[in-house]
Amino acid sequence: MRTFVIVLHIMCFLQSACSSCSGNANNAHDAGPDTSADTDTDTDTDADADTDTDSDTLADAGPWEWTNLPAGEDCGDGCVQLTFSEEVRPREWDVWDTKLVFKDEIYQTHVIDIANKKQLSIPSPYPELEFSDSDPPCSTHYPSIYEDIVVYSFAVFVPGEEKTQLIRADLQSQTQQFLWTMDYSASAVFEAQNEIDTFENRVIGRGGCDNDFIGELCFFPLSTPGEVNVLTGSHYGGYNSLWGDVAVWFTLDYEGDTFDIEGYNFASSEFFYITHDAETQLDPRIQGNTVVYMDLRFGDSNLDGNWNHSAVFAYDLTTEVTKQITNGDWIAAYPDVYGNLVVWLDYRASSDPNNAMSFDGVEIWGYNLTTETEFQITNLPGRPKQTPRIWGDKVFVDMMTTTGGNAIYMFDLPDGAK
């Protein structure tokens, strides 16, 4: 049986302190994204070997095949199994309304149409490159979805042609389009666009747009393929989340060697801090005017520790009020928010509730910000879980299957929480 583990963040680089990273909470500390001339290494070459300098639209590989979703395992009332590959790559999946995108064990991106019980495998943008779990020539990373648009990172490992590309896939027209290409054939640094999020005409991602810094946070306009702006080119940006005009992420405070929650408002072209203190805060998610995140202030852990006593907090962008959701007695991690509802991964029933590797009693819990009431969503002891997402009255959970792999399951909210 494959060991199911929560993927902990690993910092693989340290950069010198950034003078523009200081400032008080909610105060702008930068003039906006770098709008200087960018180097576009995109050759504008389509999969059919023709040169398309206008649209970067890939050659039509034929109709995309939607197939029926299999019947899933019995996981209880209000629970539906949505994915059926051997493995869903941890944290590399996303939900928008009734559609789910995910990356599987052979590094291919798939779409689930939940309402119509259909599934689709997005084809390789290069027909000659096939997905594989053994010495793969290509791979996809961090797919994100907004309505019928899927954006994902595509890496090519063919010797002499190494590159990463940001690709836009339109589920309605069944076409794909290059947004950005970075050539790595002559570089010692290889960094795909990671932790991608998409909203309306904007895409943000970490890495893959500037060879000088591996952790930069990049902004790609969907309407102008080949254009990129570096939002944070001199300090780390990770676990990005985008909604409306606001992007949020966690960033490294080099002076205190901790992590803060930072944001950027595209409408006002201003950066701001949601947290900026001596403790570490991680993994923000935004929806509407609410940002949720996990805070390590009640324990003695840091980024790659055991997250002991991690608590969930919510921040209102309009009122600038912070609210503590969980008490810190046990680990509460990976929060998500939709409207007035917050969900998270909860360790209160685990045998070692302040050890992130103690999966036996992990469940998903939620909180109603309006009524200030807490509720339990899953009750399946012995089924390790991670990374919940919420949309409407449905909660999506990465959970171990009965055969030892992992899959995405959809749960109904309790009646009292809807």
Note the pLDDT tens digit of each residue in 141-168: 999 999 999 999 999 999 888 899 999 9
Query: Between vectors from CA 8 to CA 312 and to CA 316, what angle results, nearest 5°?
Result: 25
Q: Residue 323 has which token pair?
A: 């609210």
Q: What is the largest CA-CA distance in the chain?
A: 60
Burial class of residue 209, CB neighbours in 10 A (0-12, 13-18, 19+): buried
CA dihedral 175, 119, 150, 122 (to 10 degrees): -50
CA atoms of 160 and 45, how far apart (whole Å): 16
Question: SS3 helix, strand, coil % of the chain, rounded to 5?
Answer: 0, 45, 55
Give residue 312's identity as a one-letter amino acid code. V
CA dihedral 185, 187, 190, 194 (to 10 degrees): -100
- Helix (H) / strand (E) element for 344: namely strand 341-346
Q: Residue 83 has which token pair?
A: 């994915």
How do beta strands 322-324 and 229-232 pair?
unpaired
Q: What is the pLDDT of residues 289-344, one digit of tens each?
A: 999 999 999 999 877 789 999 999 999 999 999 999 999 999 999 999 999 999 99
Instruction: Check whether 55 has a pLDDT greater than 70.
Output: no
For the chain, give the percent of residues with pLDDT over 70: 81
pLDDT of residue 232: 82
Q: Residue 227 has which token pair?
A: 């254009």
- Which backbone phi and psi does 19 adopt, to 5 degrees? -70, -20
Residues 6+ apart with CB under 8 A from 187: 211
CA atoms of 231 and 251, how far apart (whole Å): 12
Higher-confidence position of 210 and 195: 195
Contact predicate 353/330, CB 8 Å: yes
pLDDT of residue 211: 62
Residue owning tokens 């084809």: 123
Q: Residue 122 has which token pair?
A: 């997005």
Residue owning tokens 């010797």: 159
Q: What is the pLDDT of residues 176-201, one digit of tens each?
A: 999 999 887 655 566 778 999 999 99
Contact predicate 304/10, CB 8 Å: yes
Tallying the residues shown for the chain, one arrives at 418
Instruction: Check whether 39 has a pLDDT greater than 50.
Output: no
pLDDT of residue 207: 84
Q: How confident is the model at residue 408 (pLDDT cuts 50, 70, 90)?
A: very high
297: left (phi over 0), alpha (psi -120 to 50) or beta: alpha
- Which backbone phi and psi does 21 adopt, to 5 degrees? -90, 0
Q: What is the pLDDT of residues 215-267, one digit of tens each?
A: 788 999 999 999 999 888 666 678 899 999 999 999 887 666 789 999 999 99
